Structure 1
Amino acid sequence: MSAAGETGLSRRGVLAGAGALVLSFSMDCAQAQPQEGQNARQEPRPAPQLPGSLKSSPRLDAWIRVGADSSVTLFTGKAELGQGIRTALLQVAAEELEVELAAIRLVTADTGATPNEGYTAGSHSMQDSGTAIRHAAAQVREILIARAAGRLGVPGEGLRAEGGAVVSPDGRRASFGELVADGLLAVRAAPESRLKDPARFRVMNQPVQRVDIPAKVTGGAAYVQDMRLPGMVHARVVRPSGPGARLEALDSGAVERMPGVLKVIRDGDFLAVVAEREFQCIQAMRALSAAARWRAGPALPKQAEIFGTLRGLPSEDTAILDKRTPQAAQRRLEASYTRQYQSHGSIGPSCAVAQVRDGVVTVWTHTQGVYPDRDAIAEMLRLPKERVRCIHTEGSGCYGHNGADDAAADAALIATAFPDRPVRLQWMREQENAWEPLGPAMVTQARAGLDASGAIVDWDYEVWSNTHSTRPGTAGSLLAARLVAEPFPEPAPKPLPQPEGGGDRNAIPLYTFPSARVMHHFLPRMPLRVSAMRALGAYMNVFTIESFMDELAAEAGADPVEFRLRHMQDPRARDVIARAAQAFGWKAGERPPRGRGHGFGFARYKNLAAYCAVATELEVARETGRARMLRAVAAVDSGQVVNPDGLRNQVEGAIMQSMSWTLYESVSFDEAGVTSVDWSTYPMLRFNGVPLSVEVHVIDRPGLPFLGSGECGQGPTAAAIGNAMAQATGKRLRDLPLTRERIKAAVGV
């Protein structure tokens, strides 16, 4: 049966036909012989693709349901991680349905209720879920209008949706609840929708206060860490002494007799304790840890030699861009850059609540992928998938693959051994820092040639990195599943494919060069456990590319902003670069006061999401090496804007996080494991280092597709800081983080 859009019919027209059932069939693909005048070799036209995540969940009632009381429930497979997605998706649905924002109930990522949208990652929420919801809401609106036309006996063109009802020109109203009937929305979405003209928006492109903020700033129950269910007990795990360690002996008798202890659980090398009260559980965990004897695993490499180690590991080499043509260059430059391992630094240690009842395992978790986590947990427990339910509940901190999925697996395994009562499992701070997957260490190398005019005529770039995603999907991705008596093997690390990429994300510059090559050296062996951290390889690759662009501009005697524009053809990129420079007050040749520097950075995230440019002013105290970003000015183009305040919030957050990564954050480790296990050994941005001002200027593109913006600012900010530091100190620092020790060593103080 062909879609309505291919036959000239519309749902409105069909439904206005007072109950008539119209079927249309396409025989294009069923013909044994070509028809007269048809090319025998002509391929049948592919059906139009559904927009966004409608491709994988095409039924309208998977996204929107209207109750008999006119209530509207909205469903998304994406999770609120602090990026404001709940508010933005509500705005999209309210706009197209013509209902008030407060009248919509939103259900987020739940394997028992919502579409499967995989991971909430890669700045895909608005591109995928937002697009699906906008089209679904528009089509639901038109279906209801068509039903009202038949009910009221008037042409559909004269009707409008308003406040949860369809209104006729003479004022008659039919509520959504009156119009909806069983199965009305249980239909497949059409490829095209009658979307509202942006000029008529009243909810989208308007600043709306985020619905997730009040509880977070008033001490309310906002996170999974705050969950308290009736009859709930507490659990803690005991981790091995280091990566690869094995449990040799355990005497748990004394722990089992401690006050409040309900159960000590051992399954192979997996150790946990359950107690009535949380502090009782913590005390028992510490006693159980002292009672365990471990055999150490393989030694980790020396941290001081880690970049040589990485470059010496076997690699799978892929030229992700190879457009080399011989070019005459008068001057050539080459530079190498490095990035240390970094932690997610989640403020709240990972946590989950699990309960086993009537043979069903329910897990409340702050995972970024409820369906992949559900699949991995079901495999670990050797249960059918339908007997495991994962419900997303916000966690305190993340943006990437931290310990959330592992905590969910821990809780599920413990709850299986202690059924009926809810089990709350939380990691300790030292466990979070030592055992979560880290942001990978990276090495990059850039070479380029300039012609007589100072233009780049040859570009050669290389990046060495492990995988940037070991997220669940199979049980072996979970710590608990690797420790049980019948362990699951760790999946082989794989690179993430282009065009989005992993370690090679944003390694292909958006600039236009006559000759260019980009080589990805994927390293399957991983000295430390790593996975996705916000922006993945884009953070390091943009830092490198944009730092090297400044070095090339200096060699060419050109202003850094003008130099970028000279090599940029994309008009939206040029607009963003120009807007950030103008708003910052950038002036070619202007030098700030001694000890200060101005820097610039630009990227289009993944070369297919939002455009972002950042200009910064940095102050460096040469005597102490302390660097502080005084101000940052950014410009962003993310297509059609939904919530301008939310978009600014995301870019502001990206700037702050990137500043922390770039100036402070680095994991330390020795041969036994990670040693930066608390806030004194893992430094990050403090309040006294916050910039005096951060400005974000939004370029709206009415009617254009949503472009993911949650990770667009990390790379440009890092590069802007590095370039400002080079101007402030007269020295180019290429090794992240740009700590005060490195600054002092560079300036010779």
Structure 2
Amino acid sequence: MTEIPLQSRRKFIKNMGYISVGFSLLGACIGSEDPTIASRATYDGKLPGSIGRAKTVNAWLEILEDGNIRVLSGKVELGQGLRTAIQQVAAEELDMDLDKVQVHLAETGLTPNEGYTGASASIQNSAMSVRYAAATARQELLGLASKKLNTPIDDLLLFNGIVKSKLGNKSLTFAEILEGEQIDKEVIVPVPIKNKAEHRYVGKSIARTDIEGMVRGQAGYIQNLRFPGMVHARVVRPPGYESKLLTLDETGLKAEVPGVLKTVVKGSFVGVITEREHQAIKAEQYLRNHSEWTTSAPFPQIENLFTHIKEIANDPETVRNEGNVEAAFKGVETIKARYTKPYIKHASLGPACGWAMFDGEVLHIWSHSQGIYPLREALATMLSMEAEKIHIIAVPGAGCFGHSTADDAATDAALLAMEYPNTHVRVQWSRQDEHLWDPYGPAMIAELEASLDENNRINSWKADVWTDSHSQRPNKDAGTVLAARYLETPFTMKSRGYLGGGHRNADPYYNIPNMKLNAHYYNGPFRVSSLRSLGSFTNIFAIESLMDSLAEKAGQDPLDFRLKHLEDERAIAVIQKVKELTASQNIADNQGVGYAFMRYKNTDAYIAMAAKVAVDKVTGNIELIKMWAAVDVGEVINMDGITNQIEGGLIQAASWTLKEQLTFNTNEITSTDWIKYPILRFSEIPEVEVAIINRPEEDAKGVGEVPMPPTPAAIANAIYKACGKRVYDLPITPEKILNG
């Protein structure tokens, strides 16, 4: 099917009528007078991948009648400050005050299709696409104004939506220049961008304007979205992944629960629509108690999980093989260790919510999905609809990085809205739904072996990683959305998803002459998908823990040992910076400071970090006192935003390291609430100090996933320093310290 052109889609959506959830940014203006004319530098490098999908300026920004700019991005705001960063970039290139730039995120038919928001790629893809589109727009506006004003481009000034002659006697607004049209010029290199040394906004700490609303409880989230005449719905979940509906007795439902409007049964998908939310909860409970289902295959015993993983794994695939590891290992002593990570949850504080309304022609959906276009593809396949007949608007939800249950809640709402048209249907998941049906981060095993040469340098390194898929996000394969698997004709997943994420960062960034990496893929018993940093969390935990063991064997300081295996000046700089940050620490007898380093994906941002802990040697209790991080993301767009992301990521990763683990028995998942699945509490949050090394001359990289992988290794290394016990299996608990 041919995609409707962007402008046609916009007119189509405008004419059909809908409620659009938008957020304007009233950023602080920095000056209101004409700035000094900034010089331009020619960018002739590679354009971001997102521009390959949306090549023209008007795919990325629109000139409004009042002279303001509306920037369009297909990415979503997850609390990472992306909206502010995009606003900064656009305002910079078009020489606009910040409050004259609006940012509209993620709406099908309006914003570019940028796939998913993930992999720390939004800055280098979306924000940089906006940069080059805005720079192209500037040149086009100057060219058009030159003709209209009969003035050479070199004699024109462009600022705050106006182009005027340097003499000041002639001027045009952007709207007057374009006369109701938009700029459809293709973005191609070379692109003249503003000289980075003359930036007014980029590289500065521009405060996010949405924070105050969050603090005051005024922020709008999908869970508290409301529409006139709306109805509520819940879905009866099967007792297990493979369970099928045998019988459903709804004869007494309406007598038991007032306000029931409709029960929808489509194969093993059971939903109920009611007037009020509490009625939906009661109706779901009634139907669950009056239904029979087949049983699912048993889960493995939790204590045998990692043995089970090895038993069901495929034969290994060699991902990297340099030098001759086997020959290098002969006749020398090696260090071996096995590291494990359990299944962990996204653990969103707010359970998923989805909205849908079918007007008889178009299915409108409101979702906190992190990929609205891929979700649209999955729904189009499931519903046998044209994709252009599905209109999805991204609405903020509770914070979560990765493939959460948001897409599934939207799918529930879509199915029910099709059965109850012309009414807004709200599906709210329960806490139990969220904990039981979350696509977890998969359990992993990393087995490492390394040797030192006569100079106490690493001579050979071998890694074997056991991993499930790390992304089964929605796409044209309808089996990627949960409800589709339970319809009369169920959709099953056609592929395993993204397996490569399991060995991300499993090959060390250090200079090692002999290196081999094998990946062992398995298809596990639980639903899994992408969770912040994918396999890097496990792999860097293993690598950086072993690096400390190798440094100890070599009789060297752990940071100095790492530095001896690096030539990259940027890698060396972050390690030296974190060494400087921790140099003045006083360490008590029961305390320790541990370190870790990583370059994310071995191609992107750099981070070195440290953690200070205290360990009670009698009880095994761990106190995480402080964490430090030195980070290099290349060009900094928003210093405050990067710092916030690093701080939040360190804390979330510390929670994974010390607390989080899916629990289950052979019949069911048992960690169904916050008591059975504990997370780090406010009283346990450590002090965090972050140093950012800004390199404007380098490409800008994302940072959302960067703080996660080194955190468990830094904490584990600190615990070893504090009490002499090395823990190889996450989470690191008092019991493991005492029994280690």
Tell me the TM-score normalized by structure 2. Answer: 0.91
- Tell me the alpha carbon deviations over residues 99-145 of structure 1, each in whole angstroms, 9 at most, x when there is no partner: 11111221111112110000001011001001100000111011111
Look up the match of 1:206.
Answer: 204
Look up the match of 1:327.
Answer: 328
SS of residue matched to 1:741 = helix
Contact 1:256/1:264 (<8 A) preserved: no
SS of residue matched to 1:697 = strand
Aligned: 1:229 with 2:215? no
1:57-68 mapped onto 2 (5 Å cutoff): 57-68=54-65
Distance 1:586 1:517, change over 3 A: farther
Separation of aligned partners in 1, 2:308 and 2:341: 13
Separation of aligned partners in 1, 2:565 and 2:584: 18
Separation of aligned partners in 2, 1:48 and 1:640: 15
- State the 1:48 CA deviation: 8.0
Separation of aligned partners in 1, 2:361 and 2:263: 22
Separation of aligned partners in 2, 1:145 and 1:494: 47
1:329-728 mapped onto 2 (5 Å cutoff): 330-473=332-475, 474-496=477-499, 501-523=500-522, 525-585=523-583, 592-691=587-686, 693-728=687-722
SS of residue matched to 2:714 = helix
Separation of aligned partners in 1, 2:332 and 2:434: 51
Identity percentage of aligned residues? 41
Separation of aligned partners in 1, 2:516 and 2:271: 51
Following superposition, which runs of at least 4 residues in structure 1 exceed 4 angstroms of deviation? Answer: none
- State the 1:159 CA deviation: 2.2
Aligned: 1:71 with 2:79? no
- State the 1:211 CA deviation: 3.0
1:98-137 mapped onto 2 (5 Å cutoff): 98-137=95-134
Separation of aligned partners in 2, 1:650 and 1:48: 28
- Tell me the alpha carbon deviations over residues 435-459 of structure 1, each in whole angstroms, 9 at most, x when there is no partner: 1110100000000011122110011
Greater shift, 308-317 or 71-80, is seen at 308-317
Contact 2:62/2:182 (<8 A) preserved: no
Distance 1:468 1:166, change over 3 A: same
Separation of aligned partners in 1, 2:390 and 2:665: 38
Greater shift, 532-541 or 324-333, is seen at 324-333
Amino acid aligned to 2:481: L
Distance 1:48 1:727, change over 3 A: closer
Separation of aligned partners in 1, 2:483 and 2:423: 21
Greater shift, 85-94 or 246-255, is seen at 246-255
Separation of aligned partners in 1, 2:179 and 2:694: 39
Give the length in aligned residue pairs: 691
Amino acid aligned to 1:429: R
- State the 1:669 CA deviation: 1.0
- State the 1:160 CA deviation: 2.5
Separation of aligned partners in 2, 1:229 and 1:675: 36
- Tell me the alpha carbon deviations over residues 147-172 of structure 1, each in whole angstroms, 9 at most, x when there is no partner: 22222232212322211112321124
Separation of aligned partners in 1, 2:138 and 2:270: 54
Separation of aligned partners in 1, 2:488 and 2:457: 62
Separation of aligned partners in 1, 2:48 and 2:478: 32
Contact 2:258/2:279 (<8 A) preserved: yes
Separation of aligned partners in 2, 1:610 and 1:79: 21
Look up the match of 1:88.
Answer: 85
How large is the RMSD of aligned CA atoms in angstroms?
1.5
- Tell me the alpha carbon deviations over residues 641-698 of structure 1, each in whole angstroms, 9 at most, x when there is no partner: 111000000000110000000000000011222110100000110011110x211101
SS of residue matched to 2:191 = coil
Distance 1:686 1:700, change over 3 A: same
- State the 1:192 CA deviation: 2.0
Separation of aligned partners in 2, 1:466 and 1:287: 36
1:291-330 mapped onto 2 (5 Å cutoff): 291-325=290-324, 326-327=327-328, 330=332
Look up the match of 2:273.
Answer: 274
Find the partner of 1:256 among 254, 257, 261. 254
Separation of aligned partners in 1, 2:644 and 2:549: 31
SS of residue matched to 1:195 = strand
Contact 1:51/1:191 (<8 A) preserved: no
- Tell me the alpha carbon deviations over residues 248-306 of structure 1, each in whole angstroms, 9 at most, x when there is no partner: 11111222332111111111111111111111111111111111111211111111100
Look up the match of 2:171.
Answer: 173
- Tell me the alpha carbon deviations over residues 604-659 of structure 1, each in whole angstroms, 9 at most, x when there is no partner: 11111211111111111223322121111111111111110000000001100000
Separation of aligned partners in 2, 1:236 and 1:625: 44
Contact 1:337/1:445 (<8 A) preserved: yes
Amino acid aligned to 1:404: A
Distance 1:404 1:640, change over 3 A: same
Separation of aligned partners in 2, 1:670 and 1:402: 23
Amino acid aligned to 2:617: R
Contact 1:256/1:263 (<8 A) preserved: no
- State the 1:382 CA deviation: 1.3
Amino acid aligned to 2:152: P
Separation of aligned partners in 2, 1:610 and 1:645: 17
Tell me the TM-score normalized by structure 1. Answer: 0.90
Distance 1:241 1:70, change over 3 A: same
- State the 1:330 CA deviation: 4.2
Greater shift, 280-289 or 463-472, is seen at 280-289
Greater shift, 340-349 or 283-292, is seen at 283-292
SS of residue matched to 1:736 = coil
Contact 1:243/1:672 (<8 A) preserved: no
Contact 1:236/1:274 (<8 A) preserved: yes
- Tell me the alpha carbon deviations over residues 469-494 of structure 1, each in whole angstroms, 9 at most, x when there is no partner: 11111211111101111111123314
SS of residue matched to 1:725 = helix
SS of residue matched to 2:137 = helix
Amino acid aligned to 1:481: A
- Tell me the alpha carbon deviations over residues 166-186 of structure 1, each in whole angstroms, 9 at most, x when there is no partner: 232112432111112455511
Contact 2:578/2:608 (<8 A) preserved: yes
- State the 1:52 CA deviation: 4.1
Find the partner of 1:194 among 192, 195, 200. 192
Question: What stretches of structure 2 of length at least 5 have no aligned partner?
Answer: 1-43
Separation of aligned partners in 1, 2:426 and 2:134: 37
SS of residue matched to 1:253 = coil
Separation of aligned partners in 1, 2:90 and 2:109: 22
- State the 1:316 CA deviation: 4.6
- State the 1:405 CA deviation: 0.9
Greater shift, 293-302 or 177-186, is seen at 177-186
Look up the match of 1:32.
Answer: none
- State the 1:212 CA deviation: 2.8
Contact 2:48/2:124 (<8 A) preserved: no
Contact 2:472/2:498 (<8 A) preserved: no
SS of residue matched to 1:642 = coil
Look up the match of 1:37.
Answer: none
SS of residue matched to 2:252 = helix
Distance 1:199 1:48, change over 3 A: closer
Separation of aligned partners in 2, 1:586 and 1:567: 25
Look up the match of 1:217.
Answer: 215
SS of residue matched to 1:674 = coil
SS of residue matched to 2:456 = coil
Greater shift, 410-419 or 172-181, is seen at 172-181
Greater shift, 75-84 or 99-108, is seen at 99-108
Distance 1:340 1:462, change over 3 A: same
